[in-house]
Amino acid sequence: MLKFLAGAVLASEAAQTYEIHQRRVVFNEARRWCDQVGKPLLVIGAPKLGFNHPCGDVTIDLSPNIISTCPYEIADVREIPYPAGEFGAAYISHVLEHLPTVDDAYLALSELHRVADKVFVVSPHKTSVAAWLMPHHHLWVTEKEDGEFVIQQR
């Protein structure tokens, strides 16, 4: 039993390390895209202390009470207060799964596509032990090969 638990802990740590790496890789893709097209980068979800991702040219978060590593505006991803096409890219990491319904997540994606030329999404995979343990994760977000998203209630 102890070997099983130790294996589960190591697998969870490996998954966490992979997710942090994934966030950085996708953020860097979004940053390069914006630099290439000469438009600002919108980041949804202010980076928290410790890990996550860098700041965007504009960063928004719904919560006024988080301690972040960068300045951010209070705004809801379902109603982004910027005009259409304002950003080269929008980067959203580990946010969509916190929305209460599938409709809310699709509304958020629609808003992201409205304000940005490209949208970069990072979300925990269904196999993530940590994601299953988070009571405030309501959705599973999966990107298909064609770039479309499948969003399911958890």
CB atoms within 10 A of CB 62: 16
- Tell me the per-residue pLDDT of 17-44, one tens digit each, with 9 for 90 and over: 667 778 889 999 999 999 999 999 999 9
> What is the pTM for the complete model shown?
0.80
In the chain, the amino acid numbered 17 is T
In this structure, which topology does domain 2-153 adopt according to CATH? Rossmann fold (3.40.50)
- Compute the distance between CA of residue 127 and CA of residue 43 in angstroms, rounded to an integer: 25
pLDDT value, residue 9: 42
Look at the block and give the residue holding tokens 């343990």. 133
Q: Are 119 and 112 a contacting pair, CB within 8 Å?
A: yes
- Tell me the per-residue pLDDT of 88-145, one tens digit each, with 9 for 90 and over: 999 998 887 877 888 888 899 999 999 999 999 887 766 665 655 566 666 667 777 7
Residue 147 in tokens: 């770039």
- Compute the distance between CA of residue 35 and CA of residue 29 in angstroms, rounded to an integer: 10
Which residue would you say has higher pLDDT here, 5 or 70? 70
- Compute the distance between CA of residue 47 and CA of residue 68 in angstroms, rounded to an integer: 6
